[in-house]
Amino acid sequence: MSEQKLELRRDVTVWGSYMWGYADVGADIYAALGLVMAAAQGATSLAFLLAGLVYIMIGLAYTELASAYPVAGGGQYFTLRGLGDFWGFIAGSALLLDYTIDIALFATASAGYVNFFLPYVIGVRADSFILTLGPLHVNYLWLSESLVLIAFLIWLNIRGMRESSLFNEVLGAIDIVTESSIIIFGFLFAWKPELFVLQWRTEFPTFTHFLYGSSLAIISFVGLESISQAAQETRRPATIVPRTSVTLIFTVFIFATAFSTMSLGVLPWREIAANIGDPVATLAHNIPFIGVIAGPFAAMLGATILLISANSGVMSASRLTYAMSQFQFIDSWFEAVHPRHRTPYRTIIVFSMIGVVQTILSFMTPSAMDTLGNMYAFGATTGYILVFIALIKLRFTDPYSPRPYKMPLNLKIRYRGRAIDFPVLGIIGVLGVGSILFEVILTHKIGRIAGPAWIIVCFMYYAWYRRRHGLPVVGSVDRNWEAEQLRVLESAEEYDLLEEYKLALEEKRRTTKVGENGTTRGTT
């Protein structure tokens, strides 16, 4: 008797689903605010607004697809369904770059905030722990702390989705409250509208600087896909995912635009840009009533939210590669589920270790944070373009799968005798994300080299693996997507949608049979 295959356990609740997304996206503003302000200057709020509008369209696309196809894999799976194996793998490898960088970047940033307390504890600053190795100057304490945090997250994620999700939920709730407090106190007691208007009118950047700033601003919105990555472990995902995704989209959009707008009305942009490593602490320090505890408050806030973002990166990387192994993109060895904890422990360990390697390599450059941040948006924007294209195609090729949520602004068109809702926002989304990807390639020196190099190396492995197993490299393996969708909906316990899908398939078969009979009679 063959051993029964273990699957992922559905342990994620409504709040847990929301916090998986918030954990990944909510931390980005702490890393991006100072970087964007240094480039966009008095137009920082406009840069965040434009990037946020693109992010809203990305979020709505993921909401539709994740609720219709609630499985691990996210953008890789959606692209596979819509565009085939090759493009599904390209999307998966691009997003995997984003997730492994997520682990490295936010674990490093979290450790950096922890180091704020070193002078109070041992009387020495973190930059005193420098090891010189020839031309290299490595902060071995900061590096060690980052690696310890990643090791802790590996252990936590192997333990189980429930434990990992609870970790996100508790810390995320604290961070939402504190973020809201900074914004409320800032606007009530420190914001000066005349300073905001003055900087808008007299400190507007050049067009080149604005383009660079807006390309950095998208970093503040990367990570929404975490909700779709956790969809296979979410209870009643077709019901929960639309609620949590839409709520998250506007939560993060409000926070990002509020922080950038408040900043320009509290301080001259140059002061915030001069504190590029800790812009939120700089803001909090200049707000009455909470300014006296601004340093520790902002440091604790930054450390916790950045750590849960790194935790979200571990989850997303492992679930993405778990899904890729199921669809014969990578070796089936990665498909193993822990017999006790029911988590994809092999993908958690292997791809988190890639994050470890990226962390170590980044500390061998002049600025670890700058090196990691330079690559962060490349993978996500590449994957997002393919997801938009897949969404558009799936509207035509898979109109029968129930969609509990659809992107707004659709045009009714006829396709093969059937009314199809053509997504106008899908086209706008492709153009918006494409323009940001162009800006990233144009202005990010490391990203435009390391990003494509990563995808090329991943494709070399993909081509070797597929040839070794006699599978097409550019083409696709024949798959029974109807049976797959039936299995997915039954596993998710979405029985109403399951019945709706069965009725739609029956209608499809009747229509096809009638069409074939009509053709036969016409040619006889």
Tell me the per-residue pLDDT of 440-457, one tens digit each, with 9 for 90 and over.
888 777 778 888 999 999
Residue with the two structure tokens 């009714």: 412
Position with higher pLDDT, 2 vs 18: 18
Tens digits of per-residue pLDDT, 243-252? Answer: 788 888 888 8
Single-letter amino acid, residue 468: R
Q: What percent of the residues of the chain are helix, what percent strand, and what percent coil, each to the nearest 5?
A: 75, 5, 20
Residue 295 exposure: Cα atoms within 13 Å on the Cβ side: 7
Q: What does the alpha-carbon distance between residue 248 and residue 404 come to, in Å, rounded to a whole number?
A: 17
**Which residues lie across from 420 on neighbouring strands?**
413
Q: What does the alpha-carbon distance between residue 219 and residue 34 come to, in Å, rounded to a whole number?
A: 12
> What is the predicted pLDDT for the residue at 14?
63
CATH (one of 3.90.1170.50, 3.40.50.1110, 1.20.1740.10, 1.10.1370.30) for 14-441: 1.20.1740.10
SS3 363: coil
Tens digits of per-residue pLDDT, 301-335? Answer: 778 878 888 887 888 888 788 888 888 998 888 87
Residue 521 has pLDDT above 50, yes or no: no
Residue 451 exposure: Cα atoms within 13 Å on the Cβ side: 28
Work out the angle between the directed axes of helices 85-114 and 294-326 (0-180°, nearest 10). Answer: 160
Report the largest interatomic distance among the alpha carbons of the chain, rounded to a whole angstrom.
Answer: 94
Specify the range with the lowest mean pLDDT, choosing from 29-43, 277-291, 373-387, 509-523: 509-523
Average pLDDT over residues 473-485: 91
Q: What is the pTM of this model?
A: 0.83
CA distances from 250 to 56, 60, 255, 322 (A): 8, 11, 8, 30
Q: What does the alpha-carbon distance between residue 183 and residue 321 come to, in Å, rounded to a whole number?
A: 38
Closest by CA to 426, choosing from 40, 124, 59, 46, is 59
As a whole-number percent, the residues of the chain with pLDDT over 90 amount to 30
Q: Tally the residues of the chain.
A: 524
Closest by CA to 399, choosing from 424, 425, 419, 428, is 419
Residue 9 has pLDDT above 70, yes or no: no
136: left (phi > 0), else alpha (psi -120 to 50), else beta? beta
Tens digits of per-residue pLDDT, 148-183? Answer: 999 999 888 887 655 556 666 777 777 788 788 888
Tens digits of per-residue pLDDT, 424-437? Answer: 999 999 999 998 88
Tens digits of per-residue pLDDT, 343-355? Answer: 788 888 988 999 9
Residue with the two structure tokens 């219709």: 68
Closest by CA to 52, choosing from 69, 28, 88, is 28
> What is the predicted pLDDT for the residue at 2?
42
> What is the predicted pLDDT for the residue at 124?
78
**Which residues lie across from 138 on neighbouring strands?**
131
> What is the predicted pLDDT for the residue at 510?
83
**End-to-end Cα spacing for the chain:** 52
Average pLDDT over residues 355-376: 82
Domain boundaries, the chain: 14-441, 494-524
Tens digits of per-residue pLDDT, 211-237? Answer: 878 887 877 776 666 666 555 556 677
